[in-house]
Amino acid sequence: MSETLPTLAVIGGTGKEGAALALRWAHKGYPVIIGSRDPERAAQKAAELNTALGKQAIHGLANADAAAAAQIIVLSVPYTAHAETIAAIKAAAQGKLFIDVTVPINPADYRTVHVPEGKSACVEAQAMLGESVKVVAAFQNVSAVHLKKLDHSVDCDVLVCGDDEAAKAQTIALIEAIGMRGIDAGPLMNAVAVEALTPVLLYINGRYKVKGAGIRITGFAPNDHA
């Protein structure tokens, strides 16, 4: 009997990182809904991605409707829009796995670490959403430049932080489904360090003229998930 895959809502899925993640999961058979502040824009992006996929696997809805229609929510918006987007989907997120990709970048200086008032975007998300929502940090260090190319394997690891073991395991399974290695990197508070690595990578991109630098954890074999 084939397993039914959960529906994923990618909030901010009209953007670079969210669209690339939506494409990857839809390619692997997951039902995906792209959320946007504008449902028309979501539908247009979904149509564009479906053309690239060669199948109708992605739908587009307004953010709150997308979040309500999915079992798992992925949030991928600029930090400046983080709190207002969470407020718009808070009711629909209750009881669900909530994967937050947001990095608290300072748009005026995106290559220098910016620690927000609540220490981390993911920690702030958990405080805003309440206990019933299982917030997990993932993909902060994975560039859309690589993710969006379906014929290209993404040569980096994904650090996963969260306070709920089952939610982290579910997130790691979603990462493995798209051919990457998800690594349990500890409690949600460790997202402070993971989010802070992104401006470091953006600095490296500029300094060495590379696109989408990523990270690899050494010291254990690629398939060693003990």
Residue ranges in contact with ligand NAP by CB under 6 A: 12, 14-18, 36-38, 41, 76-81, 85, 101-103, 105, 139-140, 142-144
Cβ proximity to ligand NAP, 17 vs 157, nearer residue? 17
Smallest distance from ligand NAP to CB 12, Å? 4
The nearer residue to ligand NAP, 16 or 28, going by C-beta atoms, is 16
In angstroms, give the least distance from the CB of 192 to ligand NAP. 15
Q: Please, which residue, 172 or 202, has the CB nearer to ligand NAP?
A: 202
> What is the CA angle 188-193-197, rounded to 5?
130
E-only strand ranges, the chain: 8-11, 32-36, 58-62, 72-75, 97-100, 134-137, 157-162, 181-184
Classify 24 as helix, strand or coil. helix
Tell me the residue number closest to ligand NAP, measured at CB: 15
**β partners of residue 10:** 34, 74
- 31 vs 212, beta carbon nearer ligand NAP: 212
For the bound state, the minimum distance from the C-beta of residue 78 to ligand NAP, rounded and expressed in Å, comes to: 5
Cβ at position 55, least distance to ligand NAP in Å:
22
Ordered strands of the 32-36 beta sheet: 58-62, 32-36, 8-11, 72-75, 97-100, 134-137, 157-162, 181-184
In whole angstroms, the minimum distance from the beta carbon of 37 to ligand NAP comes to 4
* Distance, C-alpha 122 to centroid of its chain: 11
| CA dist 205 → 20, 88, 114, 188, 208 (Å) | 19, 34, 17, 27, 6
Which residues have C-beta within 8 Å of that of residue 207, sequence separation ≥ 6?
Answer: none
Q: Which is nearer to ligand NAP, 86 or 133 (CB)?
A: 86
Cβ at position 145, least distance to ligand NAP in Å: 6
Nearer to ligand NAP, 133 or 142 (CB): 142
